[in-house]
Structure 1
């Protein structure tokens, strides 16, 4: 295998992975912005305080990053401005490698979001993936003089078209909802079922006796063993949803949400909640009065803030509190709407796509 063939294979592998990773995140730039906010919070505490000032710009930064991944991946494969492309990819992968190493070594952000919600990697898996990419890109950089310097005109137009298309898709996903929902609360999911293990959990018990380590499938009853740790044998059986909860002054209301027909209006941050479609939401809420459905407003806020908001909007609905991370995971819109029937997600709406009451009722038929 000659050098040119190796370089082409590396271009295809690196470019393909960047395109794949970028497209998954173009599908959900709000999710990438949420992940960046986590990093900015950590960096502001551990590295420098100025990172906190980047949080308001997390969404535009996310769009630039995810679009750049797609465009640079395409440019690398089709051979447009290869030397500049390799420089840009090298800087990007250095940045990503730093993020994933920081996450893994200091155990700060347990999910890097490298492939959005589609493929979950542990921090160390993410770091090793970036390290391999760094080696591949380093090889391309070292032999950049052997790469073609000129490219056909169609490569420039293809790169421009990729830039326009991926930017347009990212903006559409922000103004609506992700094209493909990879989260545990996607349409069709039974939330209470997803909160349970898919199979009985099996453990290996690591014990120590006389300086030697032993492993048992059942906790040993014999005396003399010292417990070391308990290892899960079938992690794939763990609940896909482990943190869902909704409550008010009367206690946990999760079971109430999973019974019957529910329309849940969600807000992850009431101070940043968009008011551009509150009139449409109010019309939907009022038109659902008397319908066989419970309307719930569920927000990451104090009960006083929730009750005050409901009073201002003149909404005669149930107000519940929730964790901000859970609400952000459920809904990429603030506010947004989730329709449940006996705990099954029937539909989800961005506030820009607020349905009328008739459309909601038809879902339950």
Structure 2
């Protein structure tokens, strides 16, 4: 007699572990797609992070210095490919396209990211990993914790990969590949479609340099071996001061390092007066000469208008003067700014940045340099 016939078959529904694997798959897929989209919107920002990491590794591992520095010229391509891979693999996981291969590729990707975030947190070398671009700023240990959770979820999916059914969704993955690479190339050639930086069009730079509300602090004090917190500094002298902690962290100024100067002194406040068009020159050695005729024509067209053109650069005096002479821009005065600030303001080299009374009115990649009439129309709106 067959033992199986002694009791009726009981339907237990979907196994709990299969449900858990599906939930993990959805969570991992969504996080990777979101992270990839945020970064692919601004691949130059991710490129800057890769450069930071490689320069740090070159310093910290002298025997591999030349290897890491040799990777720096390829960081923009790496940025686009890595960001696109996050989206493509996230879509493939959600669409159940070759799940066994997809989940292993995700594991290798998250292992790489986890190493970077651990290095940032433990050695305090790159304080912002750029995991979610400039949309969401995470502290190093928070970024590392996020990657650890994702790693655990991916390992769980790998452990139950045989439960995942493969579907014929290659067309969706192929379409995603074309669209993501297209987005990355567009962002490199024409600036990010969505500008999440504090110097974006519509932002007031003077307002961004101030707290959104009065900053509030709490005082951490110690007395008789016990730690207490106070909103006001205690009058009791028996307390020993330990630290002062900012309570309303989000109220801090969004812009803390904007400063413009020349040999005559500070020019920062003057940049907020009237209409000013800044030609951003981050590096004269890494510039597209074909972009300069349009900029020179723009400068000529603004003569006699209310818009004053200036060059804003982080390069040295000799290089910028030679640049002005070579490209017939000697009539445009130049001012200095921090290199990191210029990278944040403008993702292309060169680029044009229009301000009216401290409010950003326009930003243009050198591939889309406007004409003088467009600039005049914008400042008169």
TM range (shorter): over 0.9
Pick aligned residue for 1:109 from 92, 102, 126: 126
Does 2:241 correspond to 1:241? no
Which residue does the alignment assign to 1:85? 102
- Preserved CA contact (<8 Å) 1:248 1:303: no
Report the TM-score, using the length of structure 1 for normalisation. 0.96
- Preserved CA contact (<8 Å) 1:263 1:296: yes
Which residue does the alignment assign to 1:121? 138
3-state secondary structure, aligned to 1:276 = helix
Q: Give, in angstroms, the shift of residue 268 of structure 1.
A: 2.1
Deviates more, 1:121-130 or 1:300-309: 300-309
Which residue does the alignment assign to 1:358? 373
Does 2:152 correspond to 1:135? yes
Which residue does the alignment assign to 1:196? 210
Counterpart CA distance in 2 for 1:127 and 1:286 is 51
Counterpart CA distance in 1 for 2:154 and 2:290 is 45
Pick aligned residue for 2:170 from 140, 150, 156: 156
- Preserved CA contact (<8 Å) 1:303 1:320: no
Which residue does the alignment assign to 2:323? 309
3-state secondary structure, aligned to 1:187 = coil
Counterpart CA distance in 2 for 1:228 and 1:96 is 35
3-state secondary structure, aligned to 1:270 = coil
Counterpart CA distance in 2 for 1:212 and 1:23 is 47
Which residue does the alignment assign to 1:290? 304
Report the TM-score, using the length of structure 2 for normalisation. 0.92
Structure 2's unaligned 5+ residue stretches are 1-13
Which residue does the alignment assign to 1:277? 291
3-state secondary structure, aligned to 2:201 = coil
Counterpart CA distance in 2 for 1:151 and 1:84 is 13
Which residue does the alignment assign to 1:262? 276
Does 2:363 correspond to 1:345? no
Instruction: For residues 19-45 of structure 1, give each alpha carbon's deviation from its aligned partner in whole angstroms, at most 9, with x where no partner exists.
Output: 111111111111110111011111111
- Preserved CA contact (<8 Å) 2:291 2:350: no
Q: Which protein shows a greater Rg?
A: 2
Counterpart CA distance in 2 for 1:89 and 1:13 is 13
Which residue does the alignment assign to 1:73? 90
Counterpart CA distance in 2 for 1:136 and 1:269 is 43
Deviates more, 1:211-220 or 1:131-140: 211-220
Which residue does the alignment assign to 1:215? 229
Does 2:78 correspond to 1:61? yes
3-state secondary structure, aligned to 1:186 = coil
- Preserved CA contact (<8 Å) 1:71 1:162: yes
Instruction: For residues 170-207 of structure 1, give each alpha carbon's deviation from its aligned partner in whole angstroms, at most 9, with x where no partner exists.
Output: 00110001000111111100001100011111111222
> Aligned pairs, how many?
362
Which residue does the alignment assign to 2:116? 99
* 1:40-51 matches, cutoff 5 A: 40-47=54-61, 48-49=64-65, 50-51=67-68
CA 1:257–1:157 in structure 2 vs 1: closer, same or farther (change >3 Å)? same
Pick aligned residue for 2:35 from 21, 38, 45: 21
